[in-house]
Copies of this chain bind each other. A is one copy, B any other.
Amino acid sequence: MNSVKTLRVPEESERCCAPLLRAALDEEQAADMAEVLKALADPVRLRLVSIIGTAESGEVCACDLPVLVDRTQPTVSHHLSLLVKAGVLEREQRGKWAWFRLRPQRLAAVGEALVDTG
C-alpha cells in the first residue's frame, strides 16, 4: 500500500510560543516567545492592535492611525511594521492606502502560552 505520510506543517501561530508553565523553556523557546512579547510590550503598539482588532469592519486604514494614537506618521509606520513582522497584524495595500487587520492566531498563541498550566 502506498501510504503517504501527511506531514503536519505547524502553522505560524503554533510555532511561536511554547507554554511557559509546562516545562522549563530552553533558550530558543524563550527567545522566540520574547520576540512576540517585545512586539506587544509598548503602549502605542498595544493601542494600535486594540484599535485595529476591535474595528467594526475588521480593518483600519493606516491613514487614520496617527491622530488616534497621537504620534507622527513615521512613528506609526514604524510600529505597524514591527507588528506585521511579529505576525500580529497583516498588511494589505489598496491603491495608495495601506490597510491593516489583526491576525488573531498570534495573540491567541501567546496568550495561551502564558495561561496554559498543564
Binding site for B on A (CB under 8 A): 20-25, 27, 30-31, 33-34, 37-38, 40-44, 46-47, 49-51, 53-54, 102, 104, 107-108, 110-115, 117
Contact = CB atoms under 8 A, between A and B. Distances in A.
Contact of A20 (B25, B38, B49, B117): B49
Given A111-B112, A111-B114, A114-B114, A50 B24 contact: yes
A30 B46 contact: yes
A59 to B, nearest CB: 14
- Protomer copies: 2
Contacts of A25: 46-47, 50
Given A107-B114, A108-B115, A24 B41 contact: no
Contacts of A117: 104
Contacts of A108: 114-115
A27 B47 contact: yes
B54 A23 contact: yes
Nearest to A20: B50
Given A37-B46, A41-B41, A111-B112, 4 more contacts: A24-B51, A30-B50, A40-B114, A111-B115
